Each structure stands twice: as structure tokens, then as C-alpha cells.
Structure 1
């Protein structure tokens, strides 16, 4: 066991010294790995931030029905009972114009909005909450209520929340495809780099095989080189993404505040750091192992 640890320690030390002897080429290789890992990481962090917002939003369809001024009270009550009895209706809430005014004053922080208006300009309204997220019944009810003689205007309130949820779902699919393609590209890039190293050290490897070197002995330095590059490339990718998010977050926060929301892109924490470094190490290790295995099979 001590001999095994000693061999791996020597291989790791040789790898680190090799990176330091060629700093420019090593940095370029690490940048390639970092960019390949940073793109899906950045997309995943953006999706995670959007998902945290969409989870706080009501995704059940809501319809605001604004009534005409001077409407008949009995007819309004009949309309409320008719809406409550409809299939798929979760909740029907009547909002009198005075209550709507109080809510508006509380939202704006103004205590006397009627000072310059004379009378309450807000209409009575129904707020309807429907079961499910299908668009067809919502649109049908919207069209039906828009033709009702008591109704002035109909507005679907939560359609944008549903669109945001669908956008996040689409983003997840794009993330899966992009992550798969970049993972394959990263493994191929590493395999090609290891193949070039093997070709430059071909004579050294052939001499080592003649004096009894095993496949594990020949494979060890290349595997360590790929693993070290994977770890350093993953760390560099997290650093690049953190810098990008720190640069974008002020503008994103200002845009969210303009819409009355609190939103910021999430920075990667230590668990994300471990996951990214582990994924890049596994991919570079796999690419190196396959490249060395192919050459060893050819030599045999």
C-alpha cells in the first residue's frame, strides 16, 4: 500500500511540476475546460434563480372581472352564484370598490387618494381562481365573461406566471442538451490532448515497456494530468461564473425592482463548487483513460 501511495504521489508531483514548467499552454488548456464547464453552470444558476421566483408565484389561473358602474345588485349576486357553480372553479371572491380603494392606498402608501378625484373611480370586481393550468378553459371563460352585459373588462392575472413556469421548463431541457454536448466535448478535448502527449512521449513509453513497465505505470501520469486539469478547470469555471454574476446582479436587481420584485441571480456555493469540480474531473479522467487505453491496445 505504501508503494502504491508513493507511486501516485510521484505522479501527482510530476504533473504539477509539468504544469508549472509550461504555464501558458497549461493556462490555455484550463481556460478551455473552464469555458466548457462555465456555460452550463451559468445557465443552471439562471434557471435556479428563475425557478425560485416561479415557485413563489400563483400558477393557478386567476381572472379579474371588472363590473360596470351602476350594475344591478341582484344581477350581480346571480352572476356570483353562477360563477361559483361552474365546473373547475376553485374560488370566487367579490371585491367591492371601497375595498379595492383601501388595497390600493395600502399598496401605494397613500392615505387619501380621493382628495383630488372627488369619487372612487375603481369598479366592483370578481376575482376568480380556477383549477388546473390548461389555457383552453381559461380563454373560453374569458371570452364568455367579456360578452356579459354586467362586465366592463376581463383580465387574466396569472398567465404571465404560467408562461414563466413553461419558460423555466424549456430552459431545463436546453440545459440538459447543452450540458450533455459540452460534457462530450470536454471528454473529447481531454482525450485529444492526452493523445498528443502520448505521441510526443512514444519512444519513452516504448522503452519503458521493454524494461517491464505495466499498463498501470504507463497510464498513471496521464490520468493524474487529466484529473488535475479537471479540478483546476472546475475551480476556474466557478470563478468565471461568480465574476459574471457579480457583474450582472446589480443590473438584474434594478430591473426587478422596477417591476416591484426582489430578484437576484444566485452565486455558486460550496456544494455547487464540489459538483462542478467533480464533474469536470470525471470527464477529463474518462477522456484520458479512453485515450491511453486505445494506445495501449494498439501497442499490444
Structure 2
């Protein structure tokens, strides 16, 4: 056991020493690994930030039906009956203008909204929540049908954009999965090629080691440690690139959101996410290194 620990410690020491002796070559490899890992990680954080906002939005499209001031009880009852029987409607609620004024006063925090006005300017309205599986054409048809009813002043179709945004996020998650798979394969190939070059430069040394009885595990060990160290450092560099980019972009994003009366900021990575990135890059590097060493040991030795 002590001998095994000593061999691993020696391999790790030689790996670090080689990286210190040749900082340029290893630095370029680390930069390639960091960029390859930073792109999907940043895309993931962007999707997470947008998803956190859309989770608070109503995904089901809503229709606001504003009534004319002269709308009578018969016209209101007709609209209520229509909405109750329509299969495209999930829920409908009548909001009287007095109730709407109270809600507005509660949100604004002021009871003087009618100062200088002789009467309540808000109209009676129906707030209609449609079914989530209703198509855009069906919603447009419902909007047109409601707009033609007696006593209706205006009809607005709301929250359809939230449904579209949810579908765009689903598309983004699918694209992220494809990007992760492609870059994972690319990262393993990059590492395998770098290890292959190291094997070729140390071929004479490996041949001598094989002649004096070195096992494949002994020969493979320093290359695996090199791949693991590069993967770990490359993952940390990728997280550093992403954090720097988010810090640089966040002020502009926050200012843009505030211009629309919203509060929004890009999500910064947490310790678990940083650990996951480092673990994935390390494992992918180990896979690429193991395949490269296995192939060359089998082919030349």
C-alpha cells in the first residue's frame, strides 16, 4: 500500500513539474479546455436565469375583456354564459370597476387615486384564463368573438408571450444538451491528442521502461495524472471565464430590465455548479487520456 501511494505521489509530482517546466504548451491546452467548457456552462446559467423569471409568470394565456360604461346586466350575463360554455376557457372572473379600483389602490399604496376625478374611470372587466393547450388560432378566434359581443369595449390577449418564451426555453434546453454532447466529445478528443503527443515524445523512455518490466498501469499513471490536473485547472478557468463575463454583463442587463420596470440579473454559479463543472472536465480528460494511452500501448508496445 505504501509503495502504491509513493508511486502515485511521484507521478503527480512529475506531472506538476512538467507543467511548470513547459508553461506555454500546457497553458494553451488549459485555455482550450476552459473555452470548451465555458461555452455550455455560460449557456446553462443564462437559461437558468431566464427560467427563474418565467417560473413566476403565468404560462396560460389570459384575455382581458373590458366592458363599455353603458353595458347592462343582460349584456354582462350573456358574456358570462358564453365564457362558461366555451371549451377554450379554463376560468373566467368578473371584476367590477369598484373592485378593480380597490386592487389598484392596494398595489399603488395610495387612497387618493380619484383626487380631481368625479367618478371611477376604470371599466368593468372579465379576466379570462384560457386552456394551456389552446392554439394561437383558437385564441385569436375567441378574442374576435368576444370583441363582437354587445357591451364589449376592448379585448386584450395577454400572457401569450410567456407561453412562447416557455417553448423557447424548452428549445434552448434541447440545444444545450446537443452542445454539451458535442463539446464533451471534442474535449475528450483534444485531451487524447495532447496525451498522444506526450506519448510520442516519451516513446524511447516508455520502451526502456517496458524492457525492464514496467506494467501498463505504471506507464499509464503519469499521463492520467496529467489529464486529471489539466481537467481540474481547465474547469476552474472555465468557471472564472464565465463569472467574469457575467459580472461584466450584469450591469447592462440590470439597467435594461429596469428600463422596462423589471428586476433581472444573470445567475452567478454556486459552489455546487463550479464543482460539477470541474468534475465533468476532469472525467472527460481522464477518458480521453485513457483511450489515447490504451491505443498507443496496444499499437506500439
TM-score tier, shorter chain, comes to over 0.9
The residue that corresponds to 2:265 in the other structure is 264
Q: In the alignment, is the contact (CA less than 8 A) between 1:133 and 1:162 conserved in 2?
A: no
How much does 1:254 deviate?
2.3
Partner of 2:211: 210
- SS in structure 1 at match of 2:34: helix
Deviation at 1:109? 4.6
Partner of 1:298: 299
Unaligned ranges ≥5, structure 1: none
Equivalence map 1:39-58=2 (5 Å): 39-58=39-58
| Separation in structure 2 between the aligned mates of residue 272 and residue 193 of structure 1, nearest angstrom | 27
After superposition, the CA RMSD in angstroms is 1.7
Q: Which residue of 1 aligns with 2:130?
A: 130
Displacement of 1:140 in angstroms is: 2.6
CA distance in 1, matches of 2:212, 2:41: 46
Q: What SS class does the counterpart of residue 70 from structure 1 fall into?
A: coil
Corresponding residue number in structure 2 for 1:170: 171
The farther-off stretch of 225-234 and 133-142 is 133-142
**How high is the TM-score relative to the length of structure 2?**
0.93
Aligned to 2:195: 194
Deviation of the 1:56 alpha carbon: 1.3
Determine the C-alpha separation between the residues in 1 that align with 2:119 and 2:111: 15
Aligned partner of 2:240 in structure 1 is 239
TM-score by length of 1: 0.94
Please identify runs of 4+ aligned residues in structure 1 that moved more than 6 A: none
CA deviations on 1:35-77 (whole Å, 9 max, x unpaired) are 1001000000111111111111111221101112311222212
Matches of 2:13 and 2:144, distance apart in 1:
73
For 1:122-178, what per-residue CA distance to the aligned partner results, in whole angstroms no more than 9, with x for missing partners? 322110112324324323311211222322221111111111111110110110011
Per the alignment, residue 180 of structure 1 pairs with 181
Distance 1:280 1:71 in 2: 66
Residue-pair matches, total:
300
The residue that corresponds to 2:32 in the other structure is 32
Q: Contact 2:79–2:149 (CA<8 Å) still a contact in 1?
A: no
Q: Which ranges of structure 2 fall in alignment gaps of 5 or more residues?
A: none
SS at match of 2:168: helix
